[in-house]
A = this chain, B = another copy of it.
Amino acid sequence: MNLNLNPYKGMRDFYPEDQKIFNYIFDNLKEVVKSFGYKQYNAPMIESEELYLSKSSQEIVNEQTYSFIDRGNRKVVIRPEMTPSVSRMVAAKRKSLNYPLRWYSVPNLLRYERPQNGRFREHWQLNVDIFGEESVLAEIELINIIYNIFKKFKASTSDYTIRINSRILIENVLDDLGVSKENYLDVFRIIDKKNKIDSKSFKEELGKFIKNPINIEDLLQFLEINNLEQIPTKYKEGSSYQNLYQIFSYLKLPNLVFDTSIIRGFDYYTDIVFEVTDNDPANSRSIMGGGRYDHLIEQLGEDNLPIVGFGLGDSSFFNFLSGHNLIPKLENHNTLGVLLIGNVYEGSINLLNQLRDNNIDTVVNFSNNKIGQKIKWALREDLRYVIIVGENELKTNKYNLKDLLHSTQEELSIEEIIRTIKK
């Protein structure tokens, strides 16, 4: 039987050359969040369906989850995002944790989406949250982390834009335009689609909740605001404006902009929301996004807890980095190749132990291939150094250390080889 050898639709195989880039990206991401004192956690792949109902995003829960009935007749969901899981974990120990908490995770998440560029059915996400901080300093720290992530990967502030908005500010505007409180989320979902649908459909959708056409025009005008100063004076008195103002004045980033059309897709956001976009229009999906969600712990039945968090998906961030040539050539030059000639494996065990005990990563080729084939194998493996080991070498402790990068060679003892490679 010939099986289809492709990965399941919309998911990816990571061959070692792909995984190497993946690890480069996530190792660096982890270093940045650890430098701010964040601690890693994890949660199960599977959660009960009720954890997501009316808390996450209608679109995700109704159309995009992998959900099924398990063998014990439970309605379950493979996690499509991490926020509900981490909120459940914090709620479960609400009273005993040491606030403020700074937590991060790097889960794989599954969504049943139409596969397209930068959007897969399985993706990995860096999730970063602060729990228990009411003040806007929490938002400022997270946006500062985002800035430091891009700096870590040597991106310039002209490569990307951090867009920020306040849902409370938009709610105040909607209130003045006659939208009732119970329809705020409906209108948010429409605003969130603004750049994905044409302007006629956009107005029609808004018309379902804003009866007066003049009010629709007022809202459209408000959604064009991209500068704090343009906010009408009457909205400048609320805490939202004060918070936004503080973010801008503390961070002074040239690529931080105010953008009234930023809403984010999740229902649980309560105030400040932000997302990062690539300045190269070819990579149109947002690279990361987040915001404040102060009521999710309450919704899970525990005392209220203020939270701010963001998530960064692997594929749109990879597209950003590769589009701006920010992925370096990742070499395999620190591994020594040991190519055996003849039946010498048993005799070389001590040599191999000595190398590994001296922290030299050592890969042995003990196949039956000829030495020429073994050298070709080493070149394809991108090994820089190899030694050829036969009975004579083992007897004399003199090995020919070949530097395949510079096409040079030198006869050295094993101790000298260890010193050379460590340099």
Contacts and interface: CB of A to CB of B under 8 A. Distances in A.
Interface of A: 1-9, 11-16, 18-20, 22-23, 34-37, 39-48, 50-51, 66, 68-72, 74, 76, 78, 88-89, 91-93, 98-100, 102-103, 108, 110, 112, 121-122, 132-135, 137, 140-141, 144, 148, 249-250, 299-302, 335, 337, 345-346, 349, 356, 359, 361-368, 377, 380-381
Given A8-B76, A98-B381, A364-B141, A40 B13 contact: no
Contact of A8 (B13, B48, B140, B337): B48
B3 A70 contact: no
Given A3-B51, A16-B41, A250 B9 contact: no
A122 B76 CA distance: 14
Given A3-B50, A48-B4, A102-B363, A39 B19 contact: yes
Given A14-B41, A134-B368, 5 more contacts: A13-B92, A19-B40, A35-B361, A100-B365, A133-B367
Contact of A19 (B35, B42, B91, B132): B42
Given A8-B44, A98-B381, A140-B345, A361 B37 contact: yes
Contacts of A7: 43-44, 47, 88
Contacts of A299: 1
A100 B11 contact: no
Contact of A3 (B88, B140, B345, B377): B88
- Mostly, the A contact residues are mixed
Copy number in this complex?
Answer: 2
A3 B89 contact: no
A135 B92 CA distance: 53
Contacts of A72: 9, 112
A421 to B, nearest CB: 13
A40 B24 CA distance: 12
A415 to B, nearest CB: 18
A8 to B, nearest CB: 5
A89 B302 CA distance: 46
Given A66-B70, A78-B78, A98 B361 contact: no
A16 B3 contact: no
A73 to B, nearest CB: 12
Nearest to A112: B71
Contacts of A380: 98
Contacts of A44: 7-8, 11-13, 122
Contacts of A141: 364, 366
A8 B20 CA distance: 32
27 contacts: A1-B301, A5-B88, A5-B300, A8-B46, A9-B72, A11-B45, A12-B44, A14-B41, A16-B41, A18-B41, A19-B42, A20-B40, A22-B42, A35-B359, A35-B362, A36-B363, A46-B110, A46-B122, A68-B68, A71-B112, A98-B377, A99-B377, A132-B367, A134-B368, A137-B366, A141-B366, A144-B349
A144 B40 CA distance: 32
Contact of A110 (B45, B302, B361): B45
A104 B40 CA distance: 23
Nearest first, the 4 A-B pairs at minimum CB distance are A37-B363, A11-B44, A2-B301, A68-B68
A268 to B, nearest CB: 14
